[in-house]
Copies of this chain bind each other. A is one copy, B any other.
């Protein structure tokens, strides 16, 4: 449509280079193990990523082990990362370079300086010597049979400060045999129009199909900057899954890939067939990092195709294109019509239909359920996050949930003391009194902690009657104090994630001033959901 878009060769092949395992590993709070790195590499290969930068050999023991145990890839090239040689050494005698070249990887990526200020201040070497360091290192790696990439660190800051020197740095790498010259916006401060202009200038000297782009998100423009470079001719995009990376992160490949393919008509190694794997690759990384997925992530977030406002929800019912920029299935995501305080009747009915509940739109129980949701949300429930607890609430309102058991009372004890040997030990014990069918029983059990003990006592009482509970596992347990607001009293919200041997997983919630009561509610809902979906009848 626009002038710039018209010059983009739609249909051109863009190469995708993932640095989640190297630059992404710099992120605050991220600490990949060997098994994590290999699982992520396999997922990236399965998706169709062209290059996987697996680590920096010699920098730490994890990365060395990763290269040793990396399985063969079906599509991707594994890349080892390192620096150009140090001042005053030959490339062949540089220990850093030697480590990079000893790793089992077809390609190597070497980073070097392109900003005169950094050469002078951070590195403190002569500018000509810096150019020699680049030339020698690239040539040495190429002689060793590697495909070589040159990461031109701080290229855009360098170009702004001293364009001729920045160009000399990348021309040195190009002349020495680098297959790809990657222009890095290392500090992340460059804007899209600047990127587009500079890459366009560089492409007059070095063909765009030799140029890559590596952006950081410090102005929230990493995705746009990468797209601007592609419009200007660059044909490799470096980034990370979910935009993982130091400071504000790297360019997010998960956002870039569908835009390149679906909106700009570029070819990648992924293609339309594998594009629906995108959401799963995004979630895999979060699971490996043991963190919640960003529900607002572009394309793949749980909320990316969520419709909360009553007006939107009813228009989406008529035609999804009215409020969706792409079909969610194209990237492996799905539409999500939300239950919430703002929900209208249309949302609620659509949600009930998704659960397979048929109800007359005029049934007054629907309005009562809406009121119930509003009341509970006011108390601190947040049903958006716990579809299982919402489903139970809805089914109870419509009178369709058996009472599998009824608690009479519980007592929990945690004791932290010295044992007979003088060692500090902590013992947790739960006692419950409970009705199952027409039998009242008392049970007592120990656990790693009070909730575990309560869970153990419940299972002891319930498993003889409901044997499928043996396959129920508690995956995650999260607690949050909701601070007093608008005069309401502080409450504790407990969320429990459960799973079973049928591959199902579900989250339930409990809210109470007391953490143990809230935990019991979430456990109770988790067990009830399992039994209901197993089709078990109350005994």
Residues of chain A at the chain B interface (Cβ within 8 Å): 1-5, 25-29, 31, 33-36, 60, 117-118, 121-122, 160, 186-189, 191-194, 196-198, 217-221, 223-225, 227-228, 231, 243, 246-249, 252, 255, 258-259, 263-264, 290, 295-299, 301, 303-309, 312, 315, 318-319, 321-326, 338, 340-342, 377, 382, 384-385, 407-418, 426, 428, 448-451, 475-483, 485-486, 490, 492, 512-517, 520
Contacts and interface: CB of A to CB of B under 8 A. Distances in A.
Q: Which 3 A-B pairs have the closest CB atoms?
A: A189-B325, A224-B224, A2-B197
Given A197-B1, A341-B31, A325 B188 contact: yes
A219 B263 contact: yes
A384 B322 CA distance: 43
Given A26-B308, A219-B299, A449-B514, A192 B520 contact: no
A418 to B, nearest CB: 7
B306 A28 contact: yes
Given A248-B298, A411-B415, A122 B322 contact: yes
Contacts of A297: 248
Nearest to A410: B416
B193 A2 contact: yes
Given A247-B304, A516-B428, A412 B414 contact: yes
Given A407-B416, A449-B513, 4 more contacts: A4-B197, A28-B340, A248-B304, A416-B520
A264 B416 contact: no
B192 A192 contact: yes
A459 to B, nearest CB: 17
A410 to B, nearest CB: 5
A326 B190 CA distance: 11
Contacts of A249: 296
User: How many protomers of this protein does the assembly include?
Assistant: 2
Contact of A426 (B117, B192, B514): B514
Interface of A is mostly: mixed
Contacts of A4: 193, 196-197
A414 B416 contact: no
A189 to B, nearest CB: 3
Nearest to A426: B514
Contacts of A481: 476-478
A450 B414 contact: yes
A479 B482 contact: no
Nearest to A228: B192
Contacts of A189: 263, 325-326
27 contacts: A1-B160, A2-B193, A2-B196, A4-B193, A5-B197, A27-B303, A29-B382, A31-B340, A33-B486, A35-B486, A121-B319, A122-B315, A192-B192, A193-B231, A218-B299, A218-B304, A219-B298, A221-B227, A247-B296, A248-B303, A290-B483, A414-B450, A416-B517, A428-B514, A449-B516, A477-B480, A478-B478
A165 to B, nearest CB: 16
Most buried by B among A60, A160, A477: A477
A413 B416 contact: no
A479 B476 contact: no
Contacts of A247: 296, 301, 303-306
B192 A224 contact: yes
A186 B312 CA distance: 11
A187 B414 contact: no
A191 B227 contact: yes
A76 to B, nearest CB: 23
A308 B476 contact: no
A297 B247 CA distance: 8
A121 B514 CA distance: 50
A516 B450 contact: yes
A382 to B, nearest CB: 6
B197 A28 contact: no
Contact of A412 (B118, B188, B323, B413): B413
Contacts of A410: 414-417
A101 to B, nearest CB: 20
Contacts of A428: 514, 516
